[in-house]
Structure 1
């Protein structure tokens, strides 16, 4: 399965409209790239230590699902 890179993601507002501010897009893309690299490092470390790839993937999915934002979405 091919994943989207940060450059191909269209970041959207809650109403579905794309984010237009280039600085916001830059920050979101940088955050995405940093998180991707961290997850890649976690996966590689775990596999080198003999862990199950499926379990690591499940743990990463669960981690994302557990994250609760400090505040709600901004109104449009």
Structure 2
């Protein structure tokens, strides 16, 4: 199966900009594992933070556009 040129180009950029030629197999595995774990932490942070932020932003936008409706703080006591 032939890879698309974009995948080959991306792999070439990734492989040649890191000093993989000088790394042993153990060092390369450690480096790739570290990069993968770091990327997974970033992805989890985006996945857990973004939905709450989007819903809060929509809530604030509806409050600013349409006035007081079912937003946070709408059920507080009025003096």
Q: Greater RCO between the two (CA within 8 Å, min separation 6)?
A: 1
Instruction: Work out which of the two has the higher radius of gyration on C-alpha atoms and give 1 or 2.
Output: 2
TM-score by structure 2 length? 0.43
TM-score, structure 1 as length reference: 0.44
